[in-house]
Structure 1
Amino acid sequence: MCNCMLRLNISVIIPTYQHADTIERCLRSVLSQSLQPKEIIIVDDGSTDETEKILTSFVRTTPTLSVFRQANHGSNSARNKGFEHSSGSRVIFLDADAVMRPDMLEKLSKAIDEHPRAGFAYSAFRFGWKRFRSFPFDVGRLRRMNYIHTSALIRREAFPGFDESVKRFQDWDLWLSMLERGYEGAFVSDELFRVVQVRGRRGISSWRPSVFYQLPWFGKKPESIRAYEAAREIILKKHELWM
């Protein structure tokens, strides 16, 4: 049970698009945190399913919850809009199909407190039933591949905004941009959240670590792999990471 008298100065920002099947679990996991956030901000990116109905029921009973709606402009636009409406000294962009462990905010906040040079704190997690342990923060590794999920806790002053022209690997682009500003990451080895897999879904959280796309493929490459390679070239060029 959460200690609702103690609140962290954190804004939880949840972009959502057609996540009626997962948004309730996601929200309940936020409301079950051992230390509650200052506010929860949801940006509905043009959903046409039952998302609005579900969120309306939560708004009635959750004073810290605010919901904003916009036409479908994509996940980066939704995240940036959520940040504009937030006021926490730290923010976390939580995907609508993610379920937090009750101590996630508490542990990530402690990690940032213990690492003054860290602009963000991240953790291991599960994708469905598969564990992605991630890695301790390493500049060289991060320049070669992304291993950090979007759902990390970020210092407000360190956040440069999501580049809305980048359509894939927005998280990798974000971490590289913060790296260029002199910030580091703080790693928590515990699995602090899991991403719920829904059959046939390709929504905001169709996340894969970049190493997934670097596996050898024989014969014709899937479209997702070809799209990855093109997106990777954009990131490498933007950040001058010539391999």
Structure 2
Amino acid sequence: MPKIDIVIPVFEQGKQLLRCLDSLKKQSLQDFSIIIVNDGSNDGTSDILKKLKDHAFWKNRIEIIEQPNRGAAAARNSGFQRVKAPFVLFCDADVTLRTDCLDKMLRVLQLHKNSSYVYSNFKYGLKTFNLRPFKQLNLKAQPQIHTTALMRSADFPGFDENLKRFQDWDLWLTMLKNNHYGKFIDEVLFTVKPGGTMSRWLPSWLYKLKFLPSVKKYNQAKKTIVEKHNLN
């Protein structure tokens, strides 16, 4: 059994998926398997996945799940149902990992037995997101931790499939309620390609323009999380 199972939800991101897999192929730590969930893609992703089944490197590492489109949270949950490894990483198709990402994250969790997950800084296109060490107050104040964090499989509570936004923030807050805490690596360990799952990210100054439709949706989604977790 591998140490890490990597769950990759895919919705019409065939080309991005290949870049993601290439970064996994180059990992210094190779003790992992991959579960790809094709969430109802209509762009040829299924053809790419069929070829992967016959690829010499991937055919014994990859398990593929085909399902109707239900959204990223449901796709991740479907993938997790097949997880057998003690550690799991949810890695979106638009993410590429630094070559030592898995190794560094795993070492931290092996060293810190009381931590349930480990996260890091990351790049979104040309912008670098420099996060902060884990503190409960910081986590409750605003979303900051990306979904691409290595966690102990036994501590994963599942994603809320009813949420359209902030599924990641909701996940970390739910884990906090369960007394499951994170550990921070102050390095950029992965890059997110613009236009994918983070396509709704806006520069901070735009959030002051509350009349914008995108800002209204953001504030409403944030209000949903605040009310769900009693953050007021």
1:208-233 CA-to-partner distances (Å, cap 9, x unmatched) read 49x9488422xx63222111111111
Determine whether 1:55 maps to 2:49. yes
Give, in angstroms, the shift of residue 166 of structure 1.
1.2
Partner of 1:241: 231
Give the aligned residue type for 1:239. H
> Quick one: which of 59, 78, 101 aligns to 2:98?
101
Give the aligned residue type for 1:47. S
Partner of 1:181: 178
Partner of 1:228: 218
> Alignment partner of 1:178: what SS?
helix
> Quick one: which of 173, 197, 202 aligns to 1:204?
197
Give the aligned residue type for 2:43. D
Tell me the C-alpha RMSD between the 2 structures: 1.8
Partner of 1:123: 120
Structure 2: which 5+ residue stretches go unaligned?
none
Partner of 1:159: 156
Partner of 1:17: 11
Give the aligned residue type for 2:23. S
Q: If the length of structure 1 is used for normalisation, what is the TM-score?
A: 0.89
CA contact (8 A) 1:112 1:118 kept: yes
Partner of 1:75: 72
Structure 1: which 5+ residue stretches go unaligned?
1-6
> Quick one: which of 17, 23, 33 aligns to 2:27?
33
Q: If the length of structure 2 is used for normalisation, what is the TM-score?
A: 0.93
Partner of 2:208: 216
> Alignment partner of 1:87: what SS?
coil
1:88-128 CA-to-partner distances (Å, cap 9, x unmatched) read 11101001000011111000111112222211100111000
Q: Distance in 2 between matches of 1:109 and 1:23?
A: 23
Give, in angstroms, the shift of residue 138 of structure 1.
1.2
> Alignment partner of 1:43: what SS?
strand
1:136-156 CA-to-partner distances (Å, cap 9, x unmatched) read 111101100011000000101
CA contact (8 A) 2:207 2:215 kept: no
> Alignment partner of 2:99: what SS?
coil
Partner of 1:4: none
Q: Distance in 1 between matches of 2:180 and 2:70?
A: 29
Give the aligned residue type for 1:240. N
Quote the sequence identity (%).
38
Partner of 1:91: 88
Q: Distance in 2 between matches of 1:212 and 1:15?
A: 28
- CA 1:37/1:55 → structure 2, altered by over 3 Å: closer, same or farther? farther
